Amino acid sequence: MSKAINLALDTTKSDINNPTYKLRQGDGNYQTIRATITANGEPFDLTDVSVSFNGTTAANTKVIDYNVVKIDILQGVIEYTPNKQMGSSVGRYKEAYFRFTKGDSTATTASFNIDVTTSVDINNEDAKDYVSVVDTVVNQLNDTTKKQLAHSDEVINGHIDKLSEKIESTTQDFNEKANKATSSVLEAQREIDSKLADTKQQIDRDFSNTNDRVKQLNDALDNIKADEPNYAKLNSDNNFKGKNNFEQKIIAPNGLQGNAETARQSEYVNPKNNQTVNNLTVNGQLKVSGNQKVVSFSGTIPKFGFAIEGQRVGDTVRIHLGRHDTPDIGGWTGFDYFLPNGFKPAFDVSNVMWCDLQIAKLQIGQDGGMILLNRGIQHVTPGDSDFTIEFKTNDDFPE
């Protein structure tokens, strides 16, 4: 590498006599800019500070590059080796400075001069805007996509092979059992036919005796009913007073009827009371009131500072979380947070979480716990993250 060119730059934009950085069109990754940063003459502390080069070429293309190395953090010394994109346009840079970001605070240095001279193997039409973070994210997305596709092919082919072996084994076992079953069925059929013949003869003998006995019982029962007013009489009007419990279902082809006074007094037919039904069969249309109760909650996930809120209508739950300036979160990281009772999913669910141009996947388990799957999230500015999901729940409705 060639000897570095030294610059002194102040965040108060003080005019310091600096040499001009010169390169030929197409040059890059060669000569280093070594800059000492001050703030009103004092060394600029670079602790936890994000540094980038920002420039506008003579052709009005933008260059934003975060590949800046901190040499002495406390004394504010940095080094930056321009890439080939910086020398894409001939002429003097309209703007060239370094930018410093820490949390919500931002500072920039005074501008310095960069001149690009002509080369025979490139022209201004080749110049394009360059943002190092975007290029990095695009390359990472391409690599991840290729790996996921390759892994999916391996998993699918493996499942197909195992399924084929299982089908072949099951078919062979089924044929063997079917042959044995056919022989057993024929033998059992012969034995059943013999026993049926014997049983039919016995039934015929008993039937005559049974008819006589049933007639005697019916005659005796009719005599009891005729003398007892507490029995309901067939084909007659019957009045039931007080509470009556029926263990078996009531069959009423023409419908059940009651007087208005009874309906007003009965606690079981009051539509304002809660009704419990073990099994409900609806042959027609089941109508649900549009004015259903909505239950909500909101709060903060302490570990990463996400704001979270949830709503439930019936058995449907909607969860949303997000924050500004999202921190670094590694893959397969649990949030140490659980959804409250009444809002937990009936089964594990997951959806995409966005953070600027980054994509991650967040899973919510049946216990309401949260974990960030696969790749994590890297802190960028502004770092706005967003996650929304809807699912069904089997939880009791929260009061």
Helical (H) or strand (E) element with 227: helix 132-227
- Residues, the chain, total? 399
What pLDDT score was predicted for residue 207? 80
pLDDT tens for each residue of 148-181: 777 777 777 787 788 878 888 887 887 788 778 7
The share of the chain scoring above pLDDT 70, in percent, equals 80
What's the mean per-residue pLDDT of the chain?
83
Q: If pLDDT is split at 50, 70 and 90, which confidence band does 396 have?
A: very high
pLDDT tens for each residue of 13-40: 887 788 899 988 888 888 899 999 999 9
Assess contact for 321 and 308: CB atoms under 8 A.
yes
Mean pLDDT value of segment 369-383: 88
Residue 38 sits at the vertex; the CA angle it makes with 35 and 44, to the nearest 5 degrees, is: 95
Assess contact for 87 and 23: CB atoms under 8 A.
yes
Strand partners, 311: 296, 318
Q: Is the pLDDT of residue 140 over 90?
A: no
More confident residue, 344 or 163: 344
Lowest-confidence segment of 214-218, 242-246, 330-334 by average pLDDT: 242-246
Q: Is the pLDDT of residue 57 over 50?
A: yes
Q: 93: buried, middle or exposed (CB in 10 Å: 19+, 13-18, 0-12)? A: buried
Mean pLDDT value of segment 90-112: 95
What pLDDT score was predicted for residue 245? 73
Q: Is the pLDDT of residue 264 over 50?
A: no
What pLDDT score was predicted for residue 281? 76
Q: Is the pLDDT of residue 288 over 80?
A: no
Mean pLDDT value of segment 294-321: 96
